[in-house]
Amino acid sequence: MKTQVAIIGAGPAGMLLSEMLHQRGIESVVIEQRSREHVLSRIRAGVLEQTTVDVLRSNGLGERMDREGHPHDGMKIVWSGKEGFFIDVRRHVGKRFMAYGQTSIQEDLFAACDRRGGVVLTEAEDVRLVDIDTKRPRVMFRRRGEEVRLDCDFIAGCDGFHGVSRKAIPPSVLREFEKVYPFGWLGVLSETPPLPDIVYANHPRGFALASMRSPQLSRYYLQVPLDTHIDDWSDERFWDELKQRYPRELADAIVTGPSIEKSIAPLRSFVAEPMRHGRMFLAGDAAHIVPPTGAKGLNLAVSDVFYLSRALAAFYGNGSPNLLDRYSDMALRRVWSAVRTSWYLTNLLHRFPGSSEFDQRAQESELHYLQTSIHAQAALAEQYAGLDFEAAVDRVSAEDDATAIAVAAR
Ligand code: FAS
Ligand code: PHB
């Protein structure tokens, strides 16, 4: 087989890249290890930054999101049982964010792929990346008992944290940065009407989060110890603990019901640099993981794909490798900004095992500052809503200037 871009992974990063490349006249083949049903069954992210919403809309993928999604002007933070405060993102930075589930985005991406006859090879086994540092990279894999070779110009590693793409970067080149948090999130999905706002709670018993997927689908989370067993958490215990972590009037407004999904996710930050080796480019969780506190994971996958599709379109359009050469640095600037914001919110809102009285007082002081300072709220609003993408032409280096002047002089 032969294509222009081989994409490893049919998650949101891989499928969005395939769609955006297609719209720019670039062909791709997506190779996925699981079945389509499995990919579509995963319950994950739920909050979309303005830039993500813009990317989906401008690529013809926003119709159902605009119909079924829930736009928000801001989010609430409650702490020490008090009523709390609202971070008005729209007032501070003129942006909104959208509550619309990753599961729905995956469905929309697969539907768009089917409409254009896109190629997604599911249930691929033993995927190997070969000659990624040459001009003729290829992907080898087994599928339906047959060995397959896919020749391509470029490989996009969109295969998530446990994928093979990041491991194809030589250890002498790859730098990895990790921070593991000493707790996890127990998440529940229930067919109940959600609270009107997304509400983060810092409580002596631990962090809690109230979110939603639709007017009839609620998503809630509780901070739990790392050694928590899901079987120890009946629905009744979950709802009781959740209500204890919110102030009375909010707790009384929470509509309980049977959970239709219940899972525990550990919290971790991870960044791999560089996000490129030769003709292989990493995008999404293959390159970075953030704790879900800042609702950044899916949004970072989208920003990587925005930068990578723009760079590939420039290469195929006018032969310029400039944006491909700058992809890793450009993507990582936004990744590290999101990592820092997620780290800030995780430290602000969770109770850390073994934290000292000093740590507790410092956390309360930060919460009070955020509650009382319009400037602190504006800074958080800017980060939470998501930074604008870097333009293709800014951060021009001296040699770019020289080249541009030389070209202009010709
Ligand atoms: P994905 O992991 O989604 O997709 C990678 C794909 O590659 C998968 O389909 C996988 O099967 C495939 N693959 C792996 N190895 C392969 C191989 N060798 N060959 C071929 N294919 C291979 N983010 C938020 O913003 N908010 C949240 O609340 C949130 N909750 C989360 C809960 C959980 C349990 C998890 C795991 C993640 C959560 N995230 C959340 C983060 C999540 O949304 C990711 O950021 C998002 O899925 C990233 O998308 P991809 O980069 O496409 O990676
Ligand atoms: C979600 O709705 O799943 C969600 C919302 C906000 C977060 C994390 C997850 O910070």
Query: If you take atom 7 of ligand 2, which residue's CA is the nearest one?
Result: 295
- pLDDT tens by residue, 273-290: 999 999 999 999 999 999
| pLDDT > 90 fraction of the chain, expressed in percent and rounded | 92
Q: What is the mean pLDDT of the chain?
A: 94
- SS3 assignment, position 167: helix
Give the closest residue to 64 by CA, choosing from 170, 214, 199, 212: 214
Average of per-residue pLDDT across 258-268 = 96
Query: If you take atom 1 of ligand 2, which residue's CA is the nearest one?
Result: 46
292 as an active site residue: the answer is yes
Count CB-CB contacts under 10 A for residue 387. Answer: 17
pLDDT of residue 392: 82
Which ligand lies nearest the alpha carbon of 282?
Answer: 1
- SS3 assignment, position 129: strand
Which single residue is written with the structure tokens 């800074």? 379
Query: If you take atom 29 of ligand 1, which residue's CA is the nearest one?
Result: 45
Position 23: which residue type? Q
CA–centroid distance, 209 to ligand 2, in Å, is 7
Q: What is the position in ligand 1's atom list of the atom closest to the CA of 141?
A: 19
Helix pair 12-23, 297-318: axis angle to 10 deg: 30
Burial (CB < 10 A; 0-12, 13-18, 19+), residue 18, is buried
- Tell me the sheet residues that pair with 85: 77
- Laid out side by side, the sheet with 146-151 consists of 125-130, 138-143, 146-151
- Tell me the sheet residues that pair with 150: 139
Please state which of the ranges 34-43, 78-87, 282-291, 304-313 shows the lowest mean pLDDT.
78-87
| pLDDT > 70 fraction of the chain, expressed in percent and rounded | 96
Categorize the per-residue pLDDT at 404 as very low, low, confident or very high, splitting at 50, 70 and 90: very low
Which residues, 6+ apart, have CB-to-CB distance to 366 below 8 Å?
A: 348
CA–centroid distance, 160 to ligand 1, in Å, is 5
Which single residue is written with the structure tokens 């870097």? 390
- pLDDT tens by residue, 285-315: 999 999 999 999 999 999 999 999 999 999 9
Which ligand lies nearest the alpha carbon of 161?
Answer: 1
Strand locations in 17-124, DSSP E?
28-31, 47-48, 70-72, 75-79, 85-87, 97-99, 119-121
Q: Is the pLDDT of residue 45 over 90?
A: no
- Cα separation, 39 vs 32, whole angstroms: 9
Which ligand lies nearest the alpha carbon of 69?
Answer: 2
Q: Is the pLDDT of residue 81 over 80?
A: no
368 as an active site residue: the answer is no
Q: Is any atom of ligand 1 closer than 6 Å to the C-beta of 187?
A: no
For 192, left (φ over 0), alpha (ψ -120 to 50), or beta? beta
Within 6 A (CB) of ligand 2 lie 45-47, 198, 209, 211, 219, 292-295
To the question of pTM greater than 0.85 for the whole model, the response is: yes
Q: What is the position in ligand 2's atom list of the atom closest to the CA of 345?
A: 10
Structure tokens at 322: 């400039």
pLDDT of residue 26: 98
CA–centroid distance, 325 to ligand 2, in Å, is 33
CA 37, 42, 43 angle in degrees (round to 5)?
Answer: 145
DSSP state of 245: T
296 as an active site residue: the answer is yes
Q: Is any atom of ligand 1 closer than 6 Å to the C-beta of 45?
A: yes
Using the Cα atoms of residue 278, residue 280, residue 281 and residue 282 in order, give the sign of their dihedral. negative
CA–centroid distance, 213 to ligand 2, in Å, is 10
Instruction: Note the residue count of the chain.
Output: 410
- pLDDT tens by residue, 115-133: 999 999 999 999 999 999 9
Q: Is the pLDDT of residue 207 over 50?
A: yes
100 as an active site residue: the answer is no
Q: Is the pLDDT of residue 82 over 90?
A: no
Longest dimension (CA), the chain: 74
Strand locations in 131-284, DSSP E?
138-143, 146-151, 154-157, 175-190, 199-202, 208-214, 217-224, 259-273, 276-277, 280-282
Q: Is any atom of ligand 1 closer than 6 Å to the C-beta of 105?
A: no
Average of per-residue pLDDT across 329-358 = 97
- Cα separation, 135 vs 250, whole angstroms: 59
Q: What is the position in ligand 2's atom list of the atom closest to the CA of 294?
A: 10
Count CB-CB contacts under 10 A for residue 238. Answer: 20
For 5-179+267-408, CATH gives 3.50.50.60
Q: What is the position in ligand 2's atom list of the atom closest to the CA of 44?
A: 3
CA–centroid distance, 230 to ligand 1, in Å, is 21
CA–centroid distance, 45 to ligand 2, in Å, is 6
72 as an active site residue: the answer is yes
Q: Is the pLDDT of residue 395 over 80?
A: no
- Cα separation, 288 vs 221, whole angstroms: 22
Count CB-CB contacts under 10 A for residue 112. Answer: 19
- pLDDT tens by residue, 129-151: 999 999 999 999 999 999 999 99
